[in-house]
Structure 1
């Protein structure tokens, strides 16, 4: 393996080995595939590894948290980054080497035991290391759930218009406000915008403004210093805006942002500066803001629940996603897409929906939009045995639509009333994403009574 690396372009000069072999600086070099092509003796002693057997191996196999492959892909140097190995903290430079404009390798320089650096920058290194670890966690999550514009399925004019607006938005840095009912795919659009933008190699950080408790939202957005409050991480924690540096900040359900948090958010969006909770240092972050809501923000402004100045700040480029009932020609293409995503391979491609079943699906209103359609497809596929989706495979409530009568009458009034009650409860739950408290409120009954009815009607609790 050692001999095979000698043909690499970085070995042609040959002079660097004598220069760095005996330096008290760790040196490691990997190629564009992230495989090690050189380690000096200083670094091999520190790692306690054999140089010859390490050459040709992926850097992450030798050093589990190595970022050399990341720099090889992004081409962006990382200078004075904190790193930890064997309970020892040190600084690392990771620099891409180029030849004729092309990256040919990445060199890592490891600075050990610099008393001056360690003593003066200990607190800063601790913060940077915490930030880097959190960024890596966020990136791992994002890479697992990234969508592109190719993931948006539909042939209706309205979905084509929305995709066109979002595609244009990806080409600049203006704020984007995505509106649409629950389940229409607002987060999918946000991912696609980020993926198509110049910031795609940097973090995509998502915050659900409705799901975060009010007393924790500020610390989550802006971070906090150590000892800021009871139960806080003793080392402090970077906030979402800090993690979104150079990337995209996605504020989902921004219409639910508490009124007292709105001026603080406005200030961050205007200045791109903030302070951690309990801190005094001003932190700058270069992020692009994308927001989404299923609420009518204009109505919220009239009732004093949403600030007008914040609305104008986030509504740079509006992208509205129509509900499925207004673009029925997208229902069947989406259904087939979900079938192939659920049953992968040739089996999924071979499943067909009969014309009668298609008609039932097209004429149902889909109050839960694409999310509800996905749930129905997944549920239906459990009943499909012949590779064909028939009306009897579909849930009963699809046939209660006013546009499509139920395929068989109930035998008694009691059966019919139970069926209608089940339909109303299930439809209401889909509208509020399964939130039972909101379902009970919308139905005008106590939550305890809702639970009893769900149990009686066989609805999943």
Structure 2
């Protein structure tokens, strides 16, 4: 039998009281409560939230766009979509907050505003979540910092070791290129230091605080080169990343893009690169969207681009676009005066990297290295020094330590890199004999250039005066 007593509360009353109790509970237990109108302007904020945000009074926020009060607020998103975000984490003043946002609707279902609640320490069960988020944020910040450091230059122009006139002129041109925000073309043999100089030009330029991004064109498959350059839109082709991927031009935006071995670029990609250089805009693969970029290009090649143009393997218009400010790097054989400084610098680097003792070069080793033509340039020199150090425990490297892998070619003979493999035009002499001849010539030249001043000659040669006297007697130079 049903009761005839009417309930003292109807459903609407219970809902109203429930909603009010819920709002009071949130207002009491939350660290902040905020309401915005349908235009995204702050309509109400409680005292605690205003104080947390650094406001003198809640009235200071009223009528302002919510983004002015909370820069990364998503309240406007709630108004636009009409959908709540029941649990989110937001950073405010370097403090992670757990937040909840709900839309406010009238009787017709129209969104008339939104409520936001900021929660933290009071909810003990959410502490592990907040702590984990803070930990992830810290890790992300450190990763981004490390990535930014990797994108910056490793070398300066002074890292190009050399005191010879040709090296000093090269560094002067590089510093001038750094001040001119234009395309640079570095020309030189493999191993002559093109990438190092590119780093240095960027580091001395107005773009030094922005990324330095390098790509070796010869090392990237032709089918992937466009994607590497211009990026890929989400789902552009089968196997493409669903999130898409930025190309090197986008990554280098505001900074410098170093194109190593540009002479190996396919003709199809050359045309697209030309357009980017002219228009400073890219179009990712699978996208119709044009993206503006601000990138300074430094290109490098060990090929003769003029010959490639003549052979139809390199576009002439791209060549002229790249060849705005050419800088030719001399091979090591043309700057032998830098050999001693280079060896000392490289031996220091090798010792730091390998943990081996610091090595030095004996005079006979210096003479042996000076007699070689170095087809692999500085890269080959580094390899020779490292190999020699690995093969002996002596702190002083002598000529015989290089004999196993470094032939000494007599003066006037055909260089090893151009000799016929079946008929060697060069004649290889016994190492001791070749070294002695080179030493004699160097000492004689030093004495002549110093007018017979033995102290100055010894200093020039990097040997002691006693060693010089010994060599003069050994080579019978007293009468010369």
Structure 1 length-normalised TM: 0.61
Secondary structure of 1:205's partner?
Answer: strand
Distance in 2 of aligned mates of 1:178 and 1:148: 16
How far did residue 287 of structure 1 move? Answer: 0.6
Partner of 1:81: none
After superposition, where does 1:167-316 map in structure 2 within 5 Å?
167-316=175-324
In structure 2, the partner of 1:368 is 376
Task: Confirm or deny that 1:406 pairs with 2:427.
Answer: no
The number of residues matched between the two structures is: 317
Residue 156 of structure 1 is matched in structure 2 by: 164
Cα 1:225/1:332, change in 2 over 3 Å: same
SS in 1 for 2:238: coil
| Structure of larger gyration radius | 2
Number of the residue aligned with 2:54: 17
- CA deviations 1:25-64 (Å, max 9, x no partner) are 489xxxxxxxx996458479778799xxxxxxxx997832
For residue 238 of structure 1, give the secondary structure of its aligned residue in structure 2. coil
Give the whole-Å Cα distance in 1 for the aligned partners of 2:335 and 2:393: 30
Query: Is the 1:138–1:203 Cα contact (8 Å) retained in structure 2?
Result: no
Which residue is equivalent to 1:358? 366
Aligned residue for 2:299, secondary structure, equals strand
Does the 8 A contact of 2:233 with 2:286 survive in 1? yes
Partner deviation per Cα, 1:45-86 (whole Å, 9 max, x = no partner): 778799xxxxxxxx997832565x9xxxxxxxxxxxxxxxxx
The yes-or-no answer on 1:141 pairing with 2:150 is yes
> 2-side partners of 1:373 and 1:205: how far apart?
27
Distance 2:379 2:292 in 1: 37
Pick closer, same or farther for the CA change 1:270–1:137 going to 2, 3 Å: farther
> Where in structure 2 are there 5+ consecutive unaligned residues?
1-50, 73-90, 100-117, 124-132, 412-427, 434-480
2:96–2:134 contact (8 Å) kept in structure 1: no
Q: What displacement does 1:15 show?
A: 10
SS in 2 for 1:344: helix
Distance 1:152 1:49 in 2: 59
Shift of 1:155: 1.4
Gaps in structure 1 of 5+ consecutive residues: 1-13, 28-35, 51-58, 70-132, 410-461
CA contact (8 A) 2:347 2:358 kept: no
Question: Matched residues in 1 for 2:220 and 2:228: separation?
Answer: 9
CA positional deviation for 1:342: 1.2
Are the equivalent residues in 1 in contact too, given 2:230–2:248 (CA < 8 A)? yes
Q: Is the 8 A contact 1:245 1:287 kept in 2?
A: yes
How far apart, CA to CA, are the structure 1 residues paired with 2:308 and 2:147?
32
Once the two structures are superposed, the pairs formed by residues 330-341 of structure 1 within 5 Å of their partners are 330-341=338-349
Determine the structure 2 residue equivalent to 1:10: none
Distance 1:66 1:227, change over 3 A: closer
Aligned to 2:312, the other structure's residue is in SS state coil
The structure, 1 or 2, with the larger RCO (C-alpha pairs under 8 Å, 6+ apart) is 1
TM-score of the superposition, structure 2-length normalised? 0.59
Look up the SS of the partner of 1:335 in the other structure. helix
Cα RMSD between the aligned structures? 3.7
8 Å CA contact 1:339, 1:348 repeated in 2: no
Q: 2 CA distance for matches of 1:190 and 1:20?
A: 55
In 2, Cα distance between the equivalents of 1:224 and 1:314? 25
Cα pair 1:248 1:289 within 8 Å, conserved: yes
Taking the aligned partners of 1:271 and 1:199, their CA distance within structure 2 comes to 19
Aligned runs of 1:80-95 on 2, under 5 Å?
none
Give the 3 Å change call, closer, same or farther, for CA 321–238 of structure 1 in structure 2: same
